[in-house]
Structure 1
């Protein structure tokens, strides 16, 4: 379901994306601020530190579990109603987690909080793609990414502060307050849907998902998203264990070590904004992912040599982050527009594919890390990024050639 008219990118039309990115920032920092505190949280609950990555994987699983419903529901009830309800649900879950008494209750609330990820990807991003033209939508996504990326940049430092000076509970209070603030902005600045919601009963939903998941173009392009995004997600999940537990970093050293990595992610998005109008759409991904592969080679070298482990980890993850920033928004647009099914449903399909990939891979690498330590992380990143050259790159080049041929005729 795509709008028949698009808005021009201007200061006034940016107010909705800015309100949305406040919520996106709250959802992201709900992971990036809490993850560094997980070593302290596992101690409070009296469980092993190996539970620390599960906070992130359950958070991502929550996003995957609800995406199938939120996208199609927004097609039928309207994006705005579903988005506002989702923001309020996330806010309440951030407050309820303060009452948890054990790790099982904590992870259950983390799963429920993770549904906020699907509110953004299956509803908010779909609205952005419908409201703005193709290249403007990519620019808006990149601008939003630059703001939301303050979360992983500030999260480790704030998480270290929580560990050293106050309780982790206050982090969730601050996140709930920020989410509640975004609710007011979205209520007043989000445009109403320009087309009437579709009236098909939900039984058609399963037929739509079947069409989407059996579409080779969709699968080939959507596969690129976890390939591009998972290595950094693995780093966020495992870096407290790698840097603090294994390498003996202090909480503050851990936070400072994240700066070059997430600055590189912001830099990748800024460069994307500068060059998006100069290249054929998709060219930046063909440049960015090989840069990520180079970063994975640094990770492998560090894991094998041990002498240069820390600089190789930081250089490798910095290159991977830059490549992700340069590539992800473009590939997300290609994935979302790869099917003619209503965009809420396609966004939900993309979100489910992405979140389930995150959950499965993070949990798998967590188990491998318990046995093989840092080399497991390095090899996982190398193998994931290597998949790009097998399928998504070929699919992207074919679609870019089709677009070029269409313009010539």
Structure 2
């Protein structure tokens, strides 16, 4: 909802989104920096490295479990107090994880840290849309997206260097420090957004969620999202094991190997921005997913010719990342607009579906990887992408035809 008391973008008003993006960076690098350290963490706890992917899956599960609550809660109490409380909660969880004695306590704290993901998407982004005028809000979100892309690029390299020279505990201390800095910026620079006049009970919130999830159009488009994004999520979760344990790379070499793959994702996003106005919405998806399929085939072929596996891994994942870059945002837009329910509720519904899918698929892939190693990873990527060519592709083509019939391009 756009309100009349929006502010214009200036050097003074920019301080709030910069404080928010510092927290967003802290939460994202809380995964991208820690995941390379999971081999050292599992050794410290005396458990198998097969537990390493669970750090990421529990992090995502934590975000999924409260998405339904934080948005409506911030509607009632105001964005600022909920956001400030969420940042402090994240800081405390980052410090408490230093006291964990076993892998189970560690994963519980990772679950609680993951709530920071929802604090950003359900509260922070909503505040941006309310506080800034429409065009300025778009500029702010673009700026935040560009800065947050530094997390997956820097995280693996910094994380690898960290475990080579210092303890993994310092990673969480650094993340907590960055998040605490953002809390001060948010406290003093975030405007107080007005509360809505009408407050709906949780009963109506649950009814809205039920209506969204009963919408077959929404489900067909929303289920395409984990099919597109899950191969890269599996890479982030399993690549420390594959590249360090299976291929014998050093931690620093592992960090450097992330650059072409994550760089391909950034390139895909840049290409999407450049061409989005030249083609019908959805056309880039119809091009991008076949590119992802080609990348998955390269991965599988690499497992059959082990002497080329390293090259096939980098090339295949780079193709998958590029295809995701030109596809995911468009599919997300289609899913978000597929229901007439308020967009905050639909966005929360998409977030929960994504994060729960991430959790269960990551855990299933982790178990399969124990038995079948890189072949399990490659086939999981291939299967996920192939599934997109079923009902999600049909749903997307239907949406594109509807837009043509309405004269929308």
The TM-score, its normalising length taken from structure 1, stands at: 0.91
Question: Shift of residue 138 of structure 1?
Answer: 7.2
Question: Shift of residue 145 of structure 1?
Answer: 3.3
Structure 1: runs of 5+ lacking an equivalent: none
State how far apart, in whole Å, the 1-side matches of 2:137 and 2:27 are: 21
State how far apart, in whole Å, the 1-side matches of 2:132 and 2:386 are: 33
State how far apart, in whole Å, the 2-side matches of 1:8 and 1:319 are: 41
Other-structure match for 1:359:
359
Q: Is the partner of 1:258 in helix, strand or coil?
A: helix
C-alpha root-mean-square deviation of aligned residues, in Å? 2.6
State how far apart, in whole Å, the 2-side matches of 1:293 and 1:41 are: 34
Question: Shift of residue 54 of structure 1?
Answer: 1.0
Other-structure match for 2:2:
3
Closer, same or farther: CA 21–274 of 1 in aligned 2, 3 Å: farther
Does 2:289 match 1:282? no
The answer (yes or no) to whether the contact 1:71–1:122 under 8 Å persists in 2 is yes
Other-structure match for 1:23:
23
Other-structure match for 2:292:
292
Question: Shift of residue 26 of structure 1?
Answer: 0.9
Q: Which moved more, 1:267-276 or 1:167-176?
A: 267-276
Structure 2: runs of 5+ lacking an equivalent: none
Other-structure match for 1:163:
163
State how far apart, in whole Å, the 2-side matches of 1:392 and 1:288 are: 14
Q: Which moved more, 1:100-109 or 1:179-188?
A: 179-188
Question: Shift of residue 247 of structure 1?
Answer: 1.0
Question: Shift of residue 136 of structure 1?
Answer: 8.2
CA deviations over 1:321-373 (Å, ceiling 9, x no partner): 11222222232232223222233322221111011000000000000011111
State how far apart, in whole Å, the 1-side matches of 2:388 and 2:124 are: 27
Question: Shift of residue 66 of structure 1?
Answer: 1.2
Other-structure match for 2:384:
384
Q: Which moved more, 1:321-330 or 1:88-97?
A: 321-330
State how far apart, in whole Å, the 2-side matches of 1:216 and 1:131 are: 34
Other-structure match for 2:323:
323
Other-structure match for 1:397:
397
The answer (yes or no) to whether the contact 1:56–1:237 under 8 Å persists in 2 is yes
State how far apart, in whole Å, the 1-side matches of 2:336 and 2:14 are: 21
Other-structure match for 1:226:
226
Closer, same or farther: CA 213–127 of 1 in aligned 2, 3 Å: farther
The answer (yes or no) to whether the contact 2:94–2:175 under 8 Å persists in 1 is yes
Question: Shift of residue 277 of structure 1?
Answer: 2.9
Q: Is the partner of 1:407 in helix, strand or coil?
A: coil
Other-structure match for 2:271:
271
State how far apart, in whole Å, the 1-side matches of 2:52 and 2:238 are: 8
The answer (yes or no) to whether the contact 1:157–1:255 under 8 Å persists in 2 is yes
Closer, same or farther: CA 276–88 of 1 in aligned 2, 3 Å: farther
Question: Shift of residue 106 of structure 1?
Answer: 0.8
State how far apart, in whole Å, the 1-side matches of 2:392 and 2:134 are: 20
CA deviations over 1:115-141 (Å, ceiling 9, x no partner): 111122233344456678999877765
Other-structure match for 1:93:
93
State how far apart, in whole Å, the 2-side matches of 1:348 and 1:379 are: 30
Closer, same or farther: CA 297–16 of 1 in aligned 2, 3 Å: farther
The answer (yes or no) to whether the contact 1:123–1:347 under 8 Å persists in 2 is no
Closer, same or farther: CA 6–327 of 1 in aligned 2, 3 Å: farther
Closer, same or farther: CA 302–135 of 1 in aligned 2, 3 Å: farther
The TM-score, its normalising length taken from structure 2, stands at: 0.91
State how far apart, in whole Å, the 1-side matches of 2:135 and 2:378 are: 34
Question: Shift of residue 104 of structure 1?
Answer: 1.3
Closer, same or farther: CA 338–180 of 1 in aligned 2, 3 Å: farther
State how far apart, in whole Å, the 2-side matches of 1:323 and 1:142 are: 20
Closer, same or farther: CA 290–74 of 1 in aligned 2, 3 Å: farther
Q: Is the partner of 1:26 in helix, strand or coil?
A: helix
The answer (yes or no) to whether the contact 2:24–2:148 under 8 Å persists in 1 is yes
Closer, same or farther: CA 340–9 of 1 in aligned 2, 3 Å: farther
Q: Is the partner of 1:299 in helix, strand or coil?
A: helix
What is the correspondence of 1:131-280 to structure 2 with a 5 Å cutoff?
143-190=143-190, 192-193=192-193, 196=196, 198-280=198-280
State how far apart, in whole Å, the 2-side matches of 1:72 and 1:88 are: 20
Closer, same or farther: CA 80–372 of 1 in aligned 2, 3 Å: same
